[in-house]
């Protein structure tokens, strides 16, 4: 049987069922169905009598007969109640859905095996929506100690595609199609990596002979799934490297050396030096650099970026930094012009609010090549902005940027794309980075500049507010500045907005002018007003900044030493971490106070505790990944790590690692997969390439 045929070829699968399988589970072909893997197994070797049932029994299996069936009218619709008896007693079986369909199918006084969860009411057990099967049928089946439970949906169950039906479909399919199952891994490869063959794995994943074989089957199928993802990513990287020629920055010149020796106000950390070396190696290689630079807030990514830009200029190229907000772009501009004052490097700023006259000046400076570094926002991406020879583009805080925008930077040059350095303060756990960005090169700054004091973080309840206010007053008296941040979640924006305004009012009462000055910044303000308020805070004219999360990204006010987060339970971990990163930037001891009500979910407790316990962004990211799963982590939405059928990028990270190593080793010996013994791997790879456009989204 050809496994690419639609599931209607399987005995017992009608057109209607096939449609349901497709709309509910995305299953179209026999092969899809074969790869619908059970998510758990239940032990059906144990039988109970009705008398033996106990309140604690979770899922039980009983043999008995249905002696009576009746439909009971209720407020909405009706329910079906059957009396089920064995030699020791009787109990009720209940259905709330599919009543008519089920009623017609039940046979009275005929032995059934029933299976399901018990419901207890006044000390009497009943079983809602049991799985049931005639004993005569049950005996015919391929019996196994472990019965598979398949992923399903309410709709499938309601339309009569029960677990029992799923099992029987798979059983038929296995009988019809077993011989047609092909292994993408050749025998030598199975041997080398100690993997179970495909046929045996498929058989044992659906009908495990024993625990050991089940474990081997699961390992093999997870390995296969992860291996092919890695193979695609690595191939893409190889192809990019050979296809995308890059400018060669041959020498380290005057600008770089002068800056390094005479201007750089501190020693680079070892991590910064290492990353700089990695960048230099890339830009000297002749291939285009596509590097992701991860480093916690405050780890000093900007300087690495600046030094890389000087390298570009030394080799006759221009460079640019694109930041997600005007505030950030302006900060970069101010910082960098200050550092480069007195050198011959020309720097300018382009944002949405740059005036036309200035804009013209910038355009011509770029085209003539007299402007070396352009810093700005999305405005830089516009087609009007043309460089003479853009050699390096830096994107700050990458998660605010879409793929299309990155593409625009590539296209700034006609023939050879500029080198790309993407900087992010959102740490991506290693395991996830491997599956998401396996085709990018990744650098990590995992070390903070010396002398940085850890931000003291505490969790306080709303009822401690008065002492928090006193603390604020004391810190302001010492000359410090304070952030107070309110959540703003899209879905409840208007309520959140009210919270923010109420909060602002009560803060204003508590900290009256003229002694205290307060800034407020939120998303509903005009950009000019936002910048104005922000500016007053940056200049130290206001002591308190009341804000929503607009301040999350990158803002640098070293004198601000206290971060107060209201309703902290509503923020995600990475957001809390980002917010905390706004303080601890100066020489003073900084503080982060997480305010919450008493009622907290267990996840919220974990988040708060994690924040109090650690300031390591990577540890925080790992916890975040465990709490939320990969689907909710920034940037994963489109990436395919979500569509895994059996592996889990978090739990199966050791297998992921092995699969990646195996793919690397394979490509080392056979980069084009041209060897005859690897033809089955090549076939699978090509099939996946045809199927998925997903991977093209990534870099």
Q: From the CB of 176, what's the least distance to ligand ADP, in Å?
A: 59
Nearest residue (CB) to Mg ion, 38 versus 554: 554
| 518-521 β-sheet, strand order | 456-461, 591-596, 560-565, 481-485, 544-547, 518-521
**Contacting ligand ADP (CB under 6 A), which of 425, 472, 555, 562?**
425
Nearest residue (CB) to ligand ADP, 93 versus 304: 304
Q: From the CB of 340, what's the least distance to Mg ion, in Å?
A: 17
Here's the x/- map for ligand ADP, 247-266, by CB under 6 A: it reads as -------------------x
**Which pair of tokens denotes residue 84?**
């089920």
The answer to whether residues 78 and 100 touch, using CB atoms and an 8 Å cutoff, is no
Nearest residue (CB) to Mg ion, 301 versus 607: 301
Residue 299 binding target from Mg ion, ligand ADP, none, CB below 5 to 8 Å by type: ligand ADP
Residues in the chain: 699
Q: To which H or E segment does residue 366 belong?
A: helix 356-368
**Contacting ligand ADP (CB under 6 A), which of 297, 381, 562, 646?**
297
Q: Is 586 in the site for ligand ADP (CB under 6 A)?
A: no
Strand 591-596 versus strand 560-565 pairing type: parallel
For ligand ADP (CB under 6 A), the number of binding residues is: 16
**Contacting ligand ADP (CB under 6 A), which of 268, 433, 644, 694?**
268
Q: From the CB of 425, what's the least distance to ligand ADP, in Å?
A: 5
Alpha-carbon span 373 to 392, nearest angstrom:
10
Q: Is 302 in the site for ligand ADP (CB under 6 A)?
A: yes
Site residues for ligand ADP, 515-574, by CB under 6 A, read 556
The answer to whether residues 568 and 574 touch, using CB atoms and an 8 Å cutoff, is no
Nearest residue (CB) to Mg ion, 417 versus 554: 554
For Mg ion (CB under 5 A), the number of binding residues is: 1
Which of the stretches 58-66, 268-276, 402-410, 501-509 binds ligand ADP when contact is defined by CB under 6 A?
268-276
The CA distances from residue 96 to 17, 80, 139, 172, 489, in Å, are 22, 7, 29, 30, 37
Which of the stretches 184-192, 207-215, 230-238, 296-304 binds ligand ADP when contact is defined by CB under 6 A?
296-304
What are 419's strand-pairing partners? 392
- Nearest-CB residue to ligand ADP? 300
Here's the x/- map for Mg ion, 541-580, by CB under 5 A: it reads as -------------x--------------------------
Nearest to 321 by CA among 417, 395, 424: 395
**Contacting ligand ADP (CB under 6 A), which of 230, 288, 299, 610?**
299
b/e burial code for range 398-410 (CB count within 10 A of at least 16 → b): bbbbeeeebebbb
3-state secondary structure 135-204: HHHHHHCCCCCEEEECCCCHHHHHCCCCHHHHHHHHHHHHHHHHHHCCCCCCHHHHHHCCCCCHHHHHHH
Please classify residue 411 by burial: count the beta carbons closer than 10 Å to its beta carbon, then call 0-12 exposed, 13-18 middle and 19+ buried.
exposed
Q: From the CB of 396, what's the least distance to ligand ADP, in Å?
A: 7
Q: Is 449 in the site for ligand ADP (CB under 6 A)?
A: yes
Task: State whether residue 392 is helix, strand or coil.
Answer: strand
Nearest residue (CB) to ligand ADP, 81 versus 264: 264
- Nearest-CB residue to Mg ion? 554
Nearest residue (CB) to Mg ion, 118 versus 620: 620
Give contact residues for ligand ADP (rule: CB under 6 A).
266-269, 272, 295, 297-303, 425, 449, 556
Give contact residues for Mg ion (rule: CB under 5 A).
554
């Amino acid at each position: 049987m050809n496994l690419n045929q639609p599931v209607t070829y399987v005995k017992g699968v009608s057109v209607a069922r096939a449609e349901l399988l497709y709309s509910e589970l995305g299953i179209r072909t026999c092969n899809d169905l074969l790869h619908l893997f059970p998510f758990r197994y239940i032990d059906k070797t144990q039988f109970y009598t009705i008398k033996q049932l106990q309140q604690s029994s979770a899922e039980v299996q009983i043999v008995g007969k249905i002696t009576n069936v009746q439909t009971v009218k209720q407020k909405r619709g009706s329910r079906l109640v059957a009396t089920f008896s064995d030699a020791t007693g009787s109990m009720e079986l209940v259905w709330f859905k599919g009543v008519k369909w089920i009623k017609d199918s039940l046979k009275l006084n005929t032995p059934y095996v029933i299976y399901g969860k018990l419901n207890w009411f006044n000390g009497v057990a009943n079983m809602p929506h049991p799985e049931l099967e005639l004993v005569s049928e049950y005996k015919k089946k391929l019996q196994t100690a472990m019965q598979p439970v398949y992923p399903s949906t309410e709709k499938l169950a309601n339309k009569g595609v029960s677990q029992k039906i799923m099992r029987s479909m798979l059983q038929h399919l296995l009988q019809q199609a077993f011989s047609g199952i092909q292994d993408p891994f050749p025998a030598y490869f199975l041997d080398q990596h100690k993997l179970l063959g495909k046929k045996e794995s498929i058989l044992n994943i659906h009908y495990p002979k024993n625990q050991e074989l089940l474990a081997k089957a699961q390992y093999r199928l997870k390995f296969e799934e992860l291996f092919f993802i890695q193979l695609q990513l690595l191939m893409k990287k190889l192809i990019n490297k050979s296809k995308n020629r890059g400018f060669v920055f041959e020498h380290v010149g005057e600008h770089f050396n002068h800056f390094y020796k005479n201007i750089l106000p501190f020693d680079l950390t070892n991590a910064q030096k290492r990353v700089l070396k990695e960048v230099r190696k890339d830009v000297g290689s002749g291939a285009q650099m596509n590097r992701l630079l991860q480093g916690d807030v405050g780890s000093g990514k900007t300087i690495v970026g600046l030094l890389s830009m000087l390298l570009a200029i030394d080799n006759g190229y221009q460079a640019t930094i694109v930041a997600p907000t005007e505030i950030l772009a302006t900060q970069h501009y101010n910082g960098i012009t200050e550092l480069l004052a007195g050198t011959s490097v020309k720097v300018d700023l382009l944002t949405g609010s740059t005036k036309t006259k200035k804009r013209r000046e910038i355009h011509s400076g770029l085209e003539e090549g007299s402007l070396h570094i352009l810093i700005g926002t999305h405005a830089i991406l516009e087609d009007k902005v043309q460089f003479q020879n853009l050699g390096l583009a830096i994107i700050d805080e990458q998660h605010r940027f879409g793929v299309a925008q990155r593409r625009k930077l590539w296209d700034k040059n006609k023939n050879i794309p500029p080198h790309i350095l993407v900087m992010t303060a959102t740490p991506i756990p290693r395991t996830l980075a491997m599956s998401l960005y396996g085709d990018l090169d990744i650098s990590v700054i995992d070390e903070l500049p010396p002398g940085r004091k850890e931000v003291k973080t505490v969790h306080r309840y709303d009822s401690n507010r008065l002492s928090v206010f006193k603390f604020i007053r004391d810190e302001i008296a010492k000359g410090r500045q304070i952030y107070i941040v309110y959540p703003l979640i899209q879905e409840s924006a208007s309520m959140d907005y009210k919270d923010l305004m109420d909060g602002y009012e009560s803060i204003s009462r508590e900290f009256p002018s003229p002694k205290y000055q307060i800034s407020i910044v939120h998303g509903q303000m005009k950009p000019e007003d936002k910048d104005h308020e922000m500016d007053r805070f940056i200049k130290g004219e206001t002591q308190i900044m009341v804000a929503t999360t607009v301040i999350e990204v990158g803002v640098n006010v070293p004198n601000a030493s206290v971060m107060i987060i209201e309703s902290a339970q509503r923020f995600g971990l990475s957001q809390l971490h980002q917010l905390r990163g706004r303080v601890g930037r100066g020489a003073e001891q900084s503080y982060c106070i997480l305010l919450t009500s008493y009622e907290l979910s267990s996840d919220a407790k974990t988040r708060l505790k994690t924040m109090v316990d650690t300031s390591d962004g990577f540890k925080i990211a790992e916890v975040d990944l465990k709490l939320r799963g990969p689907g909710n982590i920034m940037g994963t939405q489109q990436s395919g790590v979500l569509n895994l059928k059996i592996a889990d990028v978090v739990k199966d990270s050791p297998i992921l690692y092995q699969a990646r190593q195996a793919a690397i080793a394979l490509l080392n010996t056979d980069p084009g997969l041209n060897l005859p013994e690897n033809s089955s791997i090549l076939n699978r790879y090509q099939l996946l390439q045809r199927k998925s456009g997903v991977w093209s989204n990534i870099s």
